[in-house]
Amino acid sequence: MFIMKIFEKILGYFFVVVLFLSCTFSNAQIISLQDRVQILASRNAFDFFSWISKATLVKLTQSAIGTPRYLSKQEQVSLVNENIHIIREIENTSHEIDLIYSDPNITDPATTSLELRHSLEQLNNRLDAIAPLVEAVLEMQVTDVLNDLQLTSFGQPIPWVLYHVTPLPQNLVISRRDKIGAETNYILTPISTSEATDLENSVDKKLGVSSLVVNIGGLAAYPTMIMRTTALDWLTDTIAHEWIHIYLGQRPLGNNYTTPELRTMNETTASIAGGEIGKLVLQRYYPELSSTGSEQLELISHKTQLILDEFDYRAEMHTTRVRVDTLLEQGKIQEAEEYMEQRRKVFWDHGYPIRKLNQAYFAFHGSYADTPGGAAGEDPVGPAVRALRAKSPSLKSFLERISTMTTFKELQEAIKDIQ
């Protein structure tokens, strides 16, 4: 009897193996779109494990340096401002060196640029020395604002606010051709424009989709990835934006980043919350950057551009998206794609260089719908998220409510309930 039972188990395992092999080598159509994209793009895959390991080591080093709380508020602000000044100097010095090497009248660019290159080395050394502490300062400042907003437990956000400034990967975005919407994406190690174009062409041809390799400003790994910048308002916004993704990732909405509607709900929520938190950080620690004066200056600049050019980028992009959606709803895919290429040339003529304007472009840029118009077109998801925030008494209540949702229908019903 014992031997018979062993034989029965072996026979059972045999059939399981046979079934597994038959599934493995059966029709490739059962492979998911994500798997098929991975097969085509895997040689350019970003190595998350190595990056996270190195970034974690940096964070441990920051802890060894000491907490920025020992610095006065003015010392913290001065350190962050010095960091921004150094980055700006690095960019300017690098540009001057590039000009020297590009000047046909300079026969010995190495000698001519020697002093500048020495200055650049000193600037980079100083930046390397203070960057870890600057990151710790901004993490603490964002944490203090999160605590004010009651988005912490016992004074600490879960997880902690941890970010690292780093060269960022790129994102391969995939959309259907007959309907705009991010079906999947794949994170790539940075590649050249020609390599990106070749990859897009390969994916489009073999999978019958619309694809686009896009640059990103941040990524919600942990620690989160942030691009180097001199724009402190953008930096504080992005630190908070990526932390919100980590916050949502512990809840139903963030765990269901699966459909175009849910992607837009996630990204718009993070954009709204990140913007609010970032502004509060500026108001508390950098009031000279958060005054309405800068907003008025931006408005004046925008109006001046409209007077000079009479070309409103957001309005024109909104018009383009709406027309494309209409054509696709009518099944006119080829006509929609030809129209997008015509419009791309229009944007180029008005000073907006867009490498490729296709369904994937709108799928990616349209998911950030915290501001009306633009690439989102008439997609109802973004306005619904904005409506819920407008009707919520606080950012905390907004996040607590939307983070529990797993469908766009739940969001629509929540807006009706508040009315």
pLDDT digits (tens, 9 = 90+) for 296-339: 445 545 544 544 458 899 999 999 999 999 999 999 999 999 99
- Using H for helix, E for strand and C for coil, what is the string for 44-88? HECCHHHHHHHHHHHHHHHHHHCCHHHCCHHHHHHHHHHHHHHHH
Q: Find, among 220, 305, 333, the residue nearest to 271 by Cα.
A: 220
What's the CA gap between 353 and 358, in Å, rounded? Answer: 14
pLDDT at 155: 83
Residue whose entry in the numeric block shows the structure tokens 């942030």? 226
Chain centroid to CA 408: 22
Residue whose entry in the numeric block shows the structure tokens 């159509």? 29
- For 66: left if phi > 0, alpha if psi spans -120 to 50, otherwise beta; the answer is left
The three-state secondary structure class of 267 is helix
List the structure tokens of 118.
Answer: 């020495």
Q: Find, among 338, 360, 189, 400, the residue nearest to 260 by Cα.
A: 360
What's the CA gap between 93 and 119, in Å, rounded? Answer: 8
Chain centroid to CA 258: 16
Average pLDDT over residues 132-141: 93
pLDDT at 93: 95
List the structure tokens of 307.
Answer: 């007077």
Q: Is the pLDDT of residue 371 over 90?
A: no
Average pLDDT over residues 67-95: 92
% residues pLDDT > 90 (the chain): 75
Indicate the burial class of 162 (C-beta count within 10 angstroms; 0-12, 13-18, 19 or more).
buried
Q: Which amino acid is at 145?
A: V
pLDDT at 343: 96
pLDDT digits (tens, 9 = 90+) for 14-50: 443 433 343 444 444 457 998 999 999 999 999 999 9
Residue 77 phi/psi, 5° resolution?
-65, -40
Determine the length of the chain: 419
Q: Which residues pair with 361 in a beta bridge?
A: none
What's the CA gap between 138 and 146, in Å, rounded? Answer: 12
Q: What are the residue ranges of helices labelled H in 103-231?
A: 109-112, 114-148, 193-207
Supply the DSSP symbol for 302: H
Average pLDDT over residues 387-391: 96
- Whether 417 and 388 have beta carbons less than 8 Å apart is answered as no
pTM above 0.95, yes or no: no
